Amino acid sequence: MKEAPLVSIALCTYNGSEFLSLQLDGLVNQSYKNIEIVVVDDCSTDDTFAILEDYARQYPQFKIHRNQQNLGFAGNFEKAVKLCEGELIALCDQDDLWDVKKIALQVDAIKDNVLIYHDSEFIHHDGTSINKKMSDLMNLYRGDDPIAILFFNCVSGHTILMKKTLIDAALPLRKGYFHDWWLAYVATNIGTIDFIPQCLVKYRQHDQSETNILKMARDKDNYKMSSIQNYEHTLSWLKICRSFKANKNQALINQIYNAYKKRAESYYSIDLGMLLFKHWKTIFFIRKKPVVSKLNYIRKQFLGIKVKKLIDRDWS
């Protein structure tokens, strides 16, 4: 009988003492037992590290580390996953609530996929249900087409169980962009992703959090970015995706990137509009909107966004 693979749970902490014990209880009570819990604390000033030390004394699967200087989320996350020894790695937030069968179900479901994720239930700051789940906001994608992940993301970090080969391909992280989106993009290029439709995490939402998905979904001006800022942010993201060495469909990525770049050079963007229309079923699969809304979005892309300061920048 094949031995159960070691699963590393990578947890980054920073001033998370309020809900940390509830989360840690969910980790130590997982029905899947061959786990290590790798925690990297990023210079917390509250009781976070004391809580971690207490759990580490009780549970030998804990491996806790404390940074000498604050690395920020991206740096801390990279450090945490590099310390993981398991062939499978699960990502963990400090304030959610895990189903005790989460890891067992994901290990069973990952099979030949590079990454397996799942649905999540949103809860308020106080732990009460919002009566909404991730799949209410977006379609969950399974497959191996990176074009489906190019403009929209449905893979949240706390839902991810991945093979270590994905980390090897995805690091270093791309500064300024969500790590889970980048992991999903890389995963669809080097293999396949799949999901479990069951809600295996209660995902706590905080009003001031940058990762409050419900808040972002309500934010109609796209995180309060101006149209120019949003354009630059998307163009930069497309440039990052284009530069990935193992792109499965490099020619199409180049076409989309070049067409998007030309929006800054013209009042009309025929090439971009036509590309989005040709591949709209894939590009907009995740976006849980009526077909009319998706087509209207494409219609708007036929209009350019001619801005001289963007033309003068190096987007090659």
**CA-to-CA distance for 48 and 11, rounded, in angstroms?**
12
Please check whether residue 119 is in contact with residue 141, taking contact to mean a CB–CB distance below 8 angstroms: no
pLDDT tens by residue, 154-208: 999 999 999 999 999 999 988 788 999 999 999 999 999 999 999 999 999 986 5
77 has a pLDDT exceeding 60:
yes
What residue spans define the domains of the chain? 7-217, 220-311
222 has a pLDDT exceeding 60:
no
pLDDT tens by residue, 124-149: 999 999 999 999 999 999 999 999 99
With a CB cutoff of 8 Å and minimum separation 6, the contacts of 271 are: 255, 258, 259, 262
> Which range has the worst mean pLDDT, 53-57, 209-213, 265-269?
209-213
Average pLDDT, the chain: 91
Note the pLDDT of residue 314.
58
CA-based end-to-end distance of the chain: 53
In CATH, which of 3.50.50.60, 3.90.550.10, 3.30.420.40, 3.40.50.300 is domain 7-217?
3.90.550.10
Give the Cα-Cα-Cα angle 62, 64, 67 (nearest 5 degrees): 165
**CA-to-CA distance for 246 and 78, rounded, in angstroms?**
20
Q: What is the pTM of this model?
A: 0.91
Note the pLDDT of residue 142.
98
With a CB cutoff of 8 Å and minimum separation 6, the contacts of 150 are: 185, 238, 241, 253, 256, 283
Q: Using alpha carbons, select from 167, 168, 152, 163 the residue that is nearest to residue 192.
A: 163
Q: Is 193 helix (H, G, I), strand (E, B) or coil?
A: strand
Note the pLDDT of residue 214.
62
**CA-to-CA distance for 114 and 187, rounded, in angstroms?**
6
- Give the pLDDT mean for 97-122: 98
Dmax of the chain from CA atoms?
Answer: 65
pLDDT tens by residue, 277-315: 999 999 999 999 999 999 998 998 888 777 655 545 555
**CA-to-CA distance for 125 and 35, rounded, in angstroms?**
28
**CA-to-CA distance for 230 and 224, rounded, in angstroms?**
9
Upper half-sphere CA count for residue 62 (Cβ side, 13 Å): 21
Q: Using alpha carbons, select from 302, 98, 313, 119 the residue that is nearest to residue 197.
A: 119
218 has a pLDDT exceeding 60:
no
Element (H, E) at 296: helix 291-301
